[in-house]
Every structure is written in C-alpha cells, then in structure tokens.
A and B are shown apart, each in its own frame.
Chain A
Amino acid sequence: MSGRIPIQVTVNGRARAFEVAAHHTLLEVLRDDLQLTGTKECCLVGECGACTVRLDGRIVDSCLVLAVEADGGEVTTVEGLASDGRLSRLQGAFLDEGAVQCGFCIPGQIVAADDLLRRVARPTVGEIQEGLAGNLCRCACYGQITAAVAAAAAAEAGAR
C-alpha cells in the first residue's frame, strides 16, 4: 500500500478511523493528525521515552512505531489517563512528591509509571527505576518520580 492508508485505532477509548502515510510514525500521527500533543518529540531514536504511549497493553516508544502498525489496535496517551477531568492517583502523586519540574518528560514518565503499576502492584525502588529507565529527565527529578510512583502504589494498596 502506498499513498494514504486507512486505519482504525481506538485512541484513549474512542474508536477512530483515519488515513495515514506509510512512513509516518505513530508519534507524528498522534501529534499532528489527531492533535494529541501531550506525547512529546525529543530524540526520535527510542532513547529518551518522551514519546511513550501505551499500545495494545504495552508501553512503546511511539517514535519507533509506524502509525500503520497500530491498525486495529488500542492506543492510550497521557491525555487518556485522567478520567472526567479528575487526576488519577498517579498524576496526583507526581504533583504531591514534587516530581514535575519543566514537565516535558512527564507525559512519558506517567504513561510508563502507569504501565509499571498495572504489572507490579507494589514495586520496589529498584523495580521503579528499571521500569522507568527508558524515560530521561534532564531536570533529573528521578528521585521524586520514584517516590511518586511508590506513593501511588501504596495509596492504591491502601484503598483496596
């Protein structure tokens, strides 16, 4: 197929149908075609994690995924994490722990942290650091980000 390829993707819970160029990445399509600018562009080589999204139940660097590969799949971006305008427990924890400075890496961090907490209910510090090792923060909030994920996990456990 060349030219514009029709695809169907569920984005943040909403079924969408649109056309993409074969060589456009999922990151480009999310930002430029769907105006979901929460997911960021930085290194474009899968190193920094600023473009992290959830695709079919797993986090990926969307700069390394062609949009067409998401056809028939489910994508969740940072915009899809808060429901009805209320922050998720994780998002609140990021604010409470001071884990946000310039904020540019934060969408990727939160999507990666959200994924970690779905897989591991009470991750250790080491598991958090490993789980988020693919998300660079130049402001270097790593300590606070780790604390935020741990706090969110504890709060989640306490709530059950």
Chain B
Amino acid sequence: MSAGMSAAAGAAPGAAPGTATGTATGSGRVGDSPRRVGGHDRVTGLQRYVADLHLPDELHARLVTVPVARARIVTIDASAAERVPGFRFVMTAADLPQPMPRFGPQFRDRPVIAVGETKYHGDPVAAVAADTRDAAEEAAGLVRVDYEELPAAFTVAAALDPAAPLVQDPSLRPNDPLVGTNVLREHRVGWGDVEAAVADLVVEQRYTFPMVTHFAIEPHAYIVAPDGDGIAVWSSIQHPNWLQKVLAELLRLPLSKVRVHSPDPGGGFGGKQHTKYEPLVAFMALRAGRPVRLVLTLEETFQAVRRAAAEVRVRTGFQSDGTLAFQDIEANYLIGAYADIADRVVGKGSYPGCGPYRVPAARILARSVLSHTVPSTAFRGFGNPQVNWAVESNLDEGARALGIDRLELRLRNLARPGEAFIPFDTPCDGQWEQSVRRAAELIGWGRPLPAGHGLGIAVGIKSGPTTGLSYATVRLLVDGSVIVFAGTSDMGQGARTVFAQIAADELGAPLDAVTVVMGDTAIVPYDQQTSASRSTVLMGNAVLAACREIQGKLRAMAARLHGLDEATVMVDRGVVRLPERELTILEVLVPGLGRLGGELIGNGEMRKDAEPDHPLGGSAAFFEFNCTAVEAAVDEETGDVTLVHYATVSDVGKAINPLQVRMQDEGAAIQGLGHTLMEHYIFDESGRIRNLGAIDYRIPTSLDLPLEIVSEHVENEDGPGPYGSKGMSEGALLCVASAVGAAVRDATGVAIRDLPLTPERVWRALQERP
C-alpha cells in the first residue's frame, strides 16, 4: 500500500515557534522527546560499530599509497613485504579482472584500485592482507612502488586551464562535448531574461568556499566475508541497498547473495553514503577465501571523502527599494578525481542558488570541475552552502549600498507560501517569514552594539529529495509489542527513535516495547538511501502506512468480534473506537488472534517517482528552510572572531521528537562553524595534502562554541511527512558562514569573501583595509 505525497497542509500562520525543553520527556508519543532509542548501548560502550566487530579467521588489510598528488605507476614490488611473518598477499590492479571493474553512483569512473596512474594524494595503489594488524601495517610499509610524478591540477584555475592535464580518461565519456576538458558537466538553470533586466544597482563579487572533510569520529570501516556462494559485508555505509547493488554487479552475484550489514555509523554527514573500498575488500576476501577487514586511519578518511570547494561569482541586480531584479550566478565546484556523487551535488546544490526569494530573472551556471584531489562526495548541505555563502553575502552588500536594513531587504524579497519562487518546481512550502522574524527577534536585531561587535542574518534553503523509495514492515506481536523493519541508516540523527515513536503512537505500544531493526539487507526491506534529510518524510510515511495497514486489520478484527459494520470502527493513535465505547488495541488483538495466537503484519511503501522533464529528475519533496542570526565580536588586533550570540530557527513542519530536532540544528550550526572559522585542507605546491590528521586540521571543540546559542523550530504541520513533518538537519548548516561573515563585516567594515575566517585571514583583511 502506498501513501501518496500529500500536498502541504495549510495550517494557521503564526503558530508559536517550538522550543524543545532541555530534557528527555514524555512517554514516547509523537511530539515527545523520549530518551534516544539505542542510547543505552551508546553510553555504556556496548554499541557495536563496524570496527568493533570481528570474524573468526579474519585477515587484516592495509592500503598502500604514494606520497604525491598524481603519479604514473611504474612497478610495484612486494618482495620485502612478502617476508613479513603473517603476510598473506598483496592485491594490485594486475590481480583484478581485466579490464578493471569500475563503479560510481553517477559515472562508472572509479577503478576498484588505481590502475596505471594514481589520480590524487591517497589514491590506493595496492592493498596487503595479513594475519594481524601489525603484520599488515609492516607489510604495507614495505611494498615498494616505483612511480613517476606527473603534473597535477588541484585548483579551479589549474583544472580549467586549456593546457591542464586531463583528470579523467576521455574514453569514459566519448560522446560528451566537454570530453577534452576537466569540466565533467555544466548545469544551467534560469528563467526570465537576465540580460534585459533593468536594475538600479548591480553588485558583482567573487567568493570562495574551502575544501573541507567530514571528519566523522568513526573512521570508515569494512569487513567482507565469503558467505556460501555469496558474500556478507559489514560497512559503515549510509546506503546499504545501494552498496548491495554495486557489489552484486561488480562481483556478478545475484542481489540475494550479497548480504550487507550496516551497523549504525559513528557519524556520516554524507561521507559514508557511497561505495568506496568495499569492492576492493570484497575481491580480497574472495581471493583469500576468508574474511578481510579494512579500517581506515583518520588520515585515510581525509583522503577518501570531502566536500567540494567552490569559486562562485555572483552578479545581483537590485531595485532601489531593495527588491531583487535578477541573479546571475556562476559557480565552479572543484570536485575530485572520481565523480562519486559530486556532480549531483553541483547540480542539486546550485539549482536553488538564488535562495528563497522572489527573483524575476535568473541565470545559474554551475560546473563540476574535475581535479587531481580526493573525490568529493555528499556532505551535509549538498552543494548549497557554497552558493549560499556567495549569494547571501552579495545581498548584504546590496543592502548596504542601498541603505536598506539587511533584515528588511530579505523580508521584502522572501517568497510567500504557495509562491513558485523556482518556476515549475515545488512552490514555497512554509511560512518562512516566521522563522526569519523569530531569528531576528532572538538576536535582538537592530539594538545598539558595543564597539567591535556586529550583527549578521542570513537565510538558507535546500531542496529535499527529488525522488525516493522506502519500504517498511511493521509487526504487531500478540502481547502488543512491535517490531519495525526500516532500512534507514541511523548515524546519529535519531531515525530509529522517530520510527519507534510513530509506531508506538499509532499502535498504542509503550516506546520501550518497540524494536526497530535496521541495517541488514537480508532482513530489512528496501530503502533507496539515507540522504537529503528524507527519512522522517519518506521512511516515516512508509512506517506510518505500515501501521495504518495493521490498523485496518484491527478494524476488521474488532468488527468481527463485536458484530459491527467495519465502517463504524476507527483505529486512531493506539485506540480502537467503537460506536458505543473505546478499547485498547490489546483488547481487540488478543481475542482477535484467538487460540492460535500469531501477529499482524503491515507493509508500507513511500514512493516519489521521477519526473523525467525536471532538471533535477524530480521536484523537491519539501524545502529545508533556516534563518541564522549572529552577533560577533572581532578583536581587530588579532583577528579573533568571538560569536557572542547565535540564533538558528528552522521550519520543520512537525517535530516528531523536539529534543532531537534541536540537537540536529545545533549540531549542524556548530559543524558549519568549522568551514566558517577554521577548517581547510592545506596543499603544498605539487598538490599533496599537508595537514592530514587531527593535529593540523582543526574542527570545533567544546571551547569553540558561541558564547550563547539558541535553536528553535517553527511547526505549522505543513510538511508532507507524518503529522505534517518535513525533513530537517541540513538546514541549520546552510547559512552559517553567511551569517557570521555578515556579522564580521558589520563589526569591522570589511567584507571578507574567502572562507574560512581564521584569525590570520581576518587580521590580514583588516590590514589591507583602505
């Protein structure tokens, strides 16, 4: 049974913004904030992540790389490695099927292991397998690779230079007009006529967004074991079904013979969405006839996943009253040597680049630019933060030039509910003005500030999933307890708890009587993926539909038991309503199942089909909308930026678990402070990463928080998810940099257009102030 995507339900505007109380409360119904399901194991150390699992007889794998950005592989000599006690074998391109199998969610460009050439610093050349970790580490260090360093392109300018070395083998896209360049794709979106648009003021600036890495505290980990005539896989993957498909194709196995276990990841943020080293480990396991495990070091994760850097040129036309006349955006995203999902990031991220505003004419050109760097992949925000940084900063500049308050300018242009601010796409689906006014109120917009302080405000928008498919199965057992099968990956966002709350609420079960089973493709039905903040809406609706199917069976049961017409029986949020009285679910279920016992099973499906004519393949299921407002104090002598107050307000429809909503938004905000204030890869002149590891790549610690941070959410029950919910958890990251940059500008008078705003960079900008 499928539940259609309901139109956004209208709700009374002006509903009070929701704030979560600080503590877990309530019995586990929707809208409560019960203790996280799975929390007990996490605070006791019992939670098993992939690296905590061991199989009998397992071999340990270790990657071999060369210390340059790009190289031609001449020879690989493992003779010294072979003499290490416990060494089993080394795997190189020569040991894999010919031609080299390739994979990738958008292009099949990625080899299982580098063949002929390494294309970025950290591209594995070989992998050793040994009996112990020590032996694997020692053997990997003894594999001698003779290589010839090749010129590498690792900046936008270098990659776009006509004389640049090509990153991707041209034979991989022979009929592509861009094949002789490092531009993988160009994405063009537009409406109206930008050239003909008349504006009283035009602001044109160029902005840059740094290359940053996910730095999940759990490094990626993989175990593959031969399993009968198939394989069993353990991976920290966010998309187990997708991985299953990739492996089945590469290994020429039926899907039913590829079992993927995906234990809850220790943080994903998009960096664990797509296949990376599972194929390599799988080939090794099949060769060995034994399980093989590979756990990346933190340094290796920096060389496995990152966000696309970007250079964005924005030309904004304003009327004198602040209304927008046009937006002309050109964004070059620096993606890595293999496409992974990076091109989708570019297309989808740039598509709503004009922001949640009324823009009469727009032209957006976004390019995926290949480079000899770590493959960029999905990262919370999915290409939106990069353009947001540029576009919101440009709005600020326009407001200043026109003498219009920056909050006022945004309100004047903000799309209203139902307005098709991106023509032919999902219209504005929220009372966005509410979030903006609340954030402004929380920061005290317009109040006088001490010297050296400034205020900034920015909004961010991101399209939710454009297609999707989630199945759920729910089993109501004879004692009223419930098992939910849902293939979402709970990497900390709390999906498990949300689904448990929905089932508990719909089936009248106490929350601690609900078990949620995830992460095993042999047991849990299909889920397309966990991304784009989709799971509450897509899987949540599937779980809801499964519960409703069970409720239908309960209605039939009650009607039969009490001699009633089924049409007169209702099941509503855990209560069975007969014409004359109410019963608990158990009071129907137990007599209904009778002496043989049994259970009731419900299946649910939530599908969002592709729209082939749509540039993104489908319109947005919903929008994530956020407004962030910041008060910053700048020490002009040192460049230190202190965030004195920080307010973030997201439009979420319905908070199934308010405490989790707040945690996600605060977490997103602080994570965004990373690329805003301190994070960036540092390269040497030849494209080698200098700051691998935790000592010289700085992320926010407990001491780097804003002095005060407030997170609220707006609930108008106007989303397509269960009870009017929308997806959330990326919104609060989208405009962090824009709000902080605006506050710094307000405090110092200096606009800085390159992130991160480290003390040194702020200081330098102040020094160069005319």
A and B touch in the complex (CB under 8 A): yes
A62 at the interface (CB under 8 A from B): no
> Which residues of the partner chain A approach B52 to less than 8 Å between Cβ atoms?
31, 37
B659 at the interface (CB under 8 A from A): yes
CA distance A91 to B699 in the complex (A): 25
B49 at the interface (CB under 8 A from A): yes
CA distance A133 to B210 in the complex (A): 25
Interface pick from A2-10, A66-74, A104-112: A104-112
A57 at the interface (CB under 8 A from B): no
The A/B interface has a contact count, at CB < 8 Å, of 174
CA distance A117 to B385 in the complex (A): 39
Interface residue tally for chain A (C-beta within 8 Å): 57
Kindly supply a per-residue 1/0 record for chain A positions 113-134, scoring 1 wherever the CB is within 8 Å of any chain B CB and 0 otherwise. 0000000000000001110110
Pick the residue among A38, A40, A98, A132 that contacts B663 (CB under 8 A): A98
Kindly supply a per-residue 1/0 record for chain B positions 28-53, scoring 1 wherever the CB is within 8 Å of any chain A CB and 0 otherwise. 00000101101111111111110110
Cβ–Cβ contact A143 & B659, under 8 A: no
Pick the residue among A95, A139, A143 that contacts B709 (CB under 8 A): A143
Kindly supply a per-residue 1/0 record for chain B positions 194-220, scoring 1 wherever the CB is within 8 Å of any chain A CB and 0 otherwise. 000000000000000000001111110
Cβ–Cβ contact B43 & A50, under 8 A: no
A43 at the interface (CB under 8 A from B): yes
CA distance A106 to B42 in the complex (A): 7
Cβ–Cβ contact A95 & B39, under 8 A: yes
Q: Identify whether the interface residues of B are mostly helix, strand, loop, or mixed.
A: loop
A14 at the interface (CB under 8 A from B): no
Cβ–Cβ contact B663 & A141, under 8 A: yes
A16 at the interface (CB under 8 A from B): no
Cβ–Cβ contact B267 & A91, under 8 A: no
Cβ–Cβ contact B217 & A104, under 8 A: yes
CA distance A105 to B43 in the complex (A): 10
CB distance from A90 to the nearest CB of B (A): 8
> Which residues of the partner chain A approach B44 to less than 8 Å between Cβ atoms?
38, 78-79, 81-82, 87, 91
CA distance A150 to B343 in the complex (A): 45
Cβ–Cβ contact A43 & B298, under 8 A: yes
Q: A91-B44, A103-B266 are in contact. Are A133 and B694 (CB under 8 A)?
A: no
> Which residues of the partner chain B approach A128 to less than 8 Å between Cβ atoms?
702
CB distance from A41 to the nearest CB of B (A): 7
CB distance from B58 to the nearest CB of A (A): 12
CA distance A149 to B35 in the complex (A): 16
Within 8 A of B (CB), among A127-160: 128-130, 132-133, 135-147, 151
Q: A77-B45, A97-B24 are in contact. Are A139 and B492 (CB under 8 A)?
A: yes
Kindly supply a per-residue 1/0 record for chain A positions 79-102, scoring 1 wherever the CB is within 8 Å of any chain B CB and 0 otherwise. 101100001000100111110111
Q: A100-B43, A104-B266 are in contact. Are A42 and B219 (CB under 8 A)?
A: yes
Cβ–Cβ contact B51 & A138, under 8 A: no
Cβ–Cβ contact A47 & B694, under 8 A: yes
CA distance A48 to B698 in the complex (A): 10
Cβ–Cβ contact A21 & B24, under 8 A: no
Nearest neighbor of A50 in chain B, beta-carbon distance:
B217
Cβ–Cβ contact A42 & B134, under 8 A: no
CA distance A160 to B703 in the complex (A): 31
Nearest neighbor of B46 in chain A, beta-carbon distance:
A38
Q: A101-B667, A102-B267 are in contact. Are A136 and B492 (CB under 8 A)?
A: no
Cβ–Cβ contact A140 & B218, under 8 A: no
CA distance A57 to B702 in the complex (A): 23
A65 at the interface (CB under 8 A from B): no
Within 8 A of A (CB), among B662-715: 662-664, 666-671, 693-695, 699-703, 705, 709
Pick the residue among B24, B267, B660 that contacts A96 (CB under 8 A): B24
Cβ–Cβ contact A98 & B659, under 8 A: yes
Nearest neighbor of A146 in chain B, beta-carbon distance:
B702
Kindly supply a per-residue 1/0 record for chain B positions 268-310, scoring 1 wherever the CB is within 8 Å of any chain A CB and 0 otherwise. 1100000000000000000000000001011000000000000
CA distance A28 to B695 in the complex (A): 21
Cβ–Cβ contact A48 & B709, under 8 A: no
Q: A48-B694, A101-B493, A140-B700 are in contact. Are A106 and B43 (CB under 8 A)?
A: yes
Task: Report 5 cross-chain contacts, Cβ distance below 8 Å, ordered by A residue.
Answer: A28-B133, A41-B51, A81-B44, A101-B667, A104-B49
User: What 6 A-B pairs come out closest when comparing CB atoms?
Assistant: A38-B45, A104-B266, A102-B492, A103-B42, A101-B492, A140-B670
Name 18 extra pairs, CB < 8 A, besides A42-B694, A103-B264, A104-B266: A32-B133, A37-B51, A42-B219, A91-B43, A95-B35, A98-B659, A101-B493, A101-B663, A102-B218, A132-B702, A137-B217, A138-B214, A138-B216, A138-B267, A139-B663, A142-B702, A143-B666, A143-B709
Give chain B's interface residues, CB within 8 Å of chain A.
20, 22-24, 33, 35-36, 38-49, 51-52, 133-134, 214-219, 264-269, 295, 297-298, 491-494, 659-660, 662-664, 666-671, 693-695, 699-703, 705, 709
